[in-house]
């Protein structure tokens, strides 16, 4: 899972860095609609967040499935449920950049934005392909990890070409990927045979009967999860406690900075004497 999370996180940061490089801004509320200008970068970020959320057929699902299996096998179903719920929550914070940056209306000032440079696309695409490949064919990666864990006395995972066998079940990634592919082909055929839609400009749309003739973004990019705040605003919250605790920690950090990063040499001499006295007392 460390390997999968590292690959997905690296791909996400590379994609966001490519967007910042092309748009010259890091503020999501100033973006939107970049999927039409940077489709490869969008695909990289999409696959990365799917892997982080643990959705097949990415390698992130394989590692999280193994974690759930091990927790259940060790008699910890509550922790397995908590891990699953946390996995769903992790998708929410990585989905916000996807919606704020790539979806919605394209800003007029970004009309000439180009796809990320080739030198930036290569590592992103490599990590994306590796994430999907190890999601469909996890045996090579798991066997390598098995050799490492076995050398230090740890357990191993029973794996074949495409199947992973656990105590409570097994996972056949090739079979599941094939089902996904068949569903995609059927959906594509239905789409191709359906009545052709009329392609219009991005600003030629309406919402609730009101036509939009401006470039204003009509998608969530600022305070995206405010509806959830309103939904749970009457419930007990730890937000105030966390905010006050963070302020206290900042004050404590400022105190440590004033004491230990003081430019006065007398302070450093006094601290050195205190540390030496403490060491002598401890070793006596």
Interval 136-176: pLDDT, tens:
888 888 888 888 888 888 777 788 777 887 777 788 888 88
Chosen domain end from 212, 230, 259? 212
Residues 204 and 96 in one domain: yes
pLDDT, position 217: 46
Cis, peptide link before residue 57, omega less than 30° from 0: yes
Examine the domain organization and report whether 93 and 207 are in the same domain.
yes
Q: Which of 64-73, 92-101, 221-230, 233-242 has the lowest mean pLDDT?
A: 221-230
CA distances from 40 to 22, 125, 188 (A): 13, 8, 20
Residue 213 backbone phi and psi in degrees, to 5: -115, 10
Mean pLDDT for 97-118 is 86
Residue 224 domain flag: no
pTM more than 0.85: no
84/32 same-domain check = yes
127 CB contacts (<8 Å, ≥6 apart)?
Answer: 7, 8, 10, 11, 14, 44, 48
User: Which residue do the tokens 């992130």 mark?
Assistant: 60
76 falls within a domain:
yes
- Which segment of 30-44, 127-141, 192-206, 227-241 scores lowest on mean pLDDT? 192-206
Structural domain contains residue 229: no
33 and 132, same domain (yes or no): yes
In a domain, 130, yes or no: yes
Question: Do 9 and 135 fall into the same domain?
Answer: yes
**Assigned domain for 177 exists:** yes
The pLDDT tens digits for 200-256 are 666 666 555 555 555 554 566 666 777 777 787 787 777 778 888 999 999 998 888
Residue 191 counted as domain residue: yes
Q: What is the Cα–Cα distance from 121 to 98, expressed in whole angstroms?
A: 18
Domain annotation covers residue 234: no
Range of the domain at 38: 2-212
At 4, is the secondary structure helix, strand, or coil? helix
Give the count of domains, the chain.
Answer: 2
Cα of 48 vs its chain's centroid, Å: 6
Residues 131 and 266 in one domain: no
| Averaged pLDDT for residues 81-91 | 81
């Amino acid at each position: 899972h460390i390997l999968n999370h590292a690959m997905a996180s690296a791909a996400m940061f590379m994609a966001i860095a490519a967007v910042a490089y092309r748009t010259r801004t890091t503020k999501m509320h100033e973006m939107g609609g970049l999927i039409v200008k940077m489709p490869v970068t969008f695909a990289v970020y999409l696959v990365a967040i799917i892997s982080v959320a643990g959705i097949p057929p990415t390698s992130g699902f394989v590692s999280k499935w193994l974690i759930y299996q091990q927790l259940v096998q060790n008699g910890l179903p509550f922790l397995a449920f908590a891990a699953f719920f946390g996995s769903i929550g992790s998708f929410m914070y990585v989905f916000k950049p996807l919606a704020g940056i790539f979806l919605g209306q394209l800003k007029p000032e970004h009309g000439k934005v180009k796809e990320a440079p080739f030198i930036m696309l290569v590592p992103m695409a490599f990590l994306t392909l590796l994430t999907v490949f190890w999601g469909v064919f996890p045996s090579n990666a798991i066997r390598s990890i098995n050799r490492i864990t076995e050398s230090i006395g740890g357990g191993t995972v029973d794996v074949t070409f495409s199947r992973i066998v656990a105590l409570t079940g097994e996972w056949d990634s090739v079979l599941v990927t094939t089902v996904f592919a068949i569903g995609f082909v059927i959906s594509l055929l239905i789409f191709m045979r359906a009545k052709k839609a009329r392609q219009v400009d991005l600003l030629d749309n309406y919402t609730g009967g009101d036509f939009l003739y401006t470039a204003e973004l009509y998608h969530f990019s600022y305070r995206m999860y405010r509806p959830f705040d309103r939904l749970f605003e009457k419930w007990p919250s730890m937000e105030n406690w966390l905010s006050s605790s963070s302020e206290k920690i900042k004050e404590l950090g400022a105190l440590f900075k004033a004491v230990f990063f003081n430019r006065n040499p007398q302070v450093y001499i006094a601290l050195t004497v205190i540390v030496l006295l403490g060491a002598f007392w401890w070793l006596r």
